[in-house]
Amino acid sequence: MSKSAKLAVLGSINADHILNLTHFPRPGETVIGKQYQIAFGGKGANQAVAAGRAGASIAFIACVGDDDTGERIRQQLMQDRIDTSPVETVPGATTGVAMIFVNADGENSIGISAGANAALTPACVVRHQQVIAEASALLMQLESPLESVLAAAKIAHQHQTQVILNPAPATQLSDELLALVDIITPNETEAEILTGIAVNNDEDAARAARALHAKGIDTVLITLGSRGVWLSEQGQGQRIAGFRVEAVDTIAAGDTFNGAFITARLEGKPVVDAVRFAHAAAAIAVTRPGAQPSVPWRAEIDAFLQQQGE
Ligand code: RIB
């Protein structure tokens, strides 16, 4: 099978329980919520959905529990144009859960129960190594066991499959893993945890990017919230602004960015154009509530870019 433009995503699947409130509860405080919804999420699944809806040819390596939620999520992923044959159902496990508070400013605070996601072990990765070997790119995040992320990166490296790592949620990573990464997409907090450099402005972002290049990573994309992203390739950096929109919540904005970015790159778009495409997808996502319900389809991204005169 040709490697042309195939994407493998490896990562988590969660059912998100989202509660909107005026402010986050302080320790010991109870806050009455305004709105509650359950929606499909998980950083891995969100990125897979973003890629599938944006038009990628994609297979997803993940685990769900043997519960009704797991089956419904699998059906939804298939509707989102994702090959779910590498999604394993784990006997006796519950599907992952995320408890998400969203405050009046659209900021969120998340607690997670890994559930079946913990069963995405290195042995599970090896069972699906063919998917990684046949792909042009492997996109991962850090809601899966770290040893499995490393195992998958090693398989990718052996087969000249490009490794894209979204290092979220934030944690320190080994030099061994970072040396296997081709493109890394931290936000400011994640960049600081990986490099020790607080990212408050473009100069800081450039320094953090240089530190990540020194670990062996070719392309560094530091997402800067409303300020856009810092793109650094071989030490040459520039900030690429995002689009101004009225945000409802930012859940899965980063995930949408990652899935759309790699889709555009696999289509052969130059990296700056791929960032603009990903900015557009993320801008649409923040105007809608929830994780996967907010992720746009390709036609919506193209229409948005056309409206912006691009
Ligand atoms: O990035 C957003 C995601 O983080 C949510 O969908 C939630 O499941 C957590 O994994």
Query: What is the domain-level CATH number for residue 301?
Result: 3.40.1190.20
Q: What is the mean pLDDT of residues 64-70?
A: 97
| Rounded average pLDDT over 261-286 | 97
Would 59 be classed as within a structural domain? yes
Q: Is 153 in the pocket of ligand 1 (CB under 6 A)?
A: no
* Mean local confidence (pLDDT), 147-173: 98
CA of 251 to the centre of ligand 1 (A): 7
pLDDT computed for residue 226 by the predictor: 87
pTM of the model: 0.96
* 295 in a structural domain: yes
Tell whether the model's pLDDT for residue 258 goes beyond 90: yes
Q: Ligand 1 pocket test: pick from 143, 187, 257, 288 the residue with the most ligand atoms within 8 Å of its Cβ.
A: 143
Judged against a pLDDT cut of 80, whether residue 235 lies above it is answered with: no
Ligand 1 lined by 249 (C-beta under 6 Å)? no
Query: In the chain, at which residue ranges do the beta strands (DSSP E only) sit?
Result: 6-10, 14-20, 35-41, 57-65, 82-83, 87-90, 96-102, 108-113, 137-140, 162-165, 183-184, 219-223, 229-233, 236-240
Ligand 1 and 15: CB distance under 6 A? no
- Ligand 1 atom with minimal separation from the 254 CA: 1
For residue 106, pLDDT over 90 is answered with no
Confidence class for position 1, pLDDT limits 50, 70, 90 = very low
Q: What is the pLDDT, as a whole number, of residue 3?
A: 64
Residue 125 near ligand 1, beta carbon < 6 Å: no
Q: Which two tokens stand for residue 80?
A: 């989102």
In a domain, residue 148? The reply is yes
Range 113-140 average pLDDT: 98
In a domain, 113, yes or no: no
> Residue 281 falls within a domain, yes or no?
yes
Task: Output the pLDDT for position 11.
Answer: 98
| Pocket of ligand 1 contains residue 252 by CB under 6 Å | yes
Q: Measured in angstroms, how far is the CA atom of residue 286 from the centroid of ligand 1?
A: 14
Please determine, for residue 110, whether its predicted confidence score (pLDDT) is greater than 90.
yes
Q: What is the distance in A from the centroid of ligand 1 to the CA of 9?
A: 15
Number of structural domains the chain divides into: 1
Domain ranges, residue 80: 6-12+41-91+120-307
pLDDT tens-place string over residues 183-212: 999 999 999 999 999 999 999 999 999 999
Classify residue 101: in a domain, yes or no.
no
* 2 CA distance to ligand 1 middle (Å): 32
Nearest residue (by CA) to ligand 1, atom 2, is: 252
Query: Which band of pLDDT confidence, cut at 50, 70 and 90, is reported for residue 171?
Result: very high
Identify the H or E element spanning 69: helix 68-79
Q: Is residue 115 part of a domain?
A: no
Ligand 1 within 6 A of CB of 303: no
Q: Is residue 19 part of a domain?
A: no
CA gyration radius, the chain: 18
pLDDT (mean) for 49-63:
98
Q: From atom 10 of ligand 1, which residue's Cα is the shortest distance away?
A: 42
- Among residues 37, 81, 38, 42, the alpha carbon closest in space to that of 63 is found at 42
Catalytic residue set: 255
Distance 235 CA to ligand 1 centre (A): 31
**Cβ–ligand 1 contact at 110 (below 6 Å):** yes
Span 119-134, average pLDDT: 98
Ligand 1 atom closest to the Cα of residue 255 is: 1
Contact between 291 and 11 under an 8 Å Cβ cutoff? The reply is no
Structure tokens at 99: 């408890």
Averaged pLDDT of the chain: 96
- pLDDT of residue 155 exceeding 90, the answer is yes
- Kindly give the distance from the C-alpha atom of residue 282 to the centroid of ligand 1, in angstroms, as a whole number: 14
Edge-to-edge strand order for the sheet containing 35-41? 35-41, 14-20, 96-102, 108-113
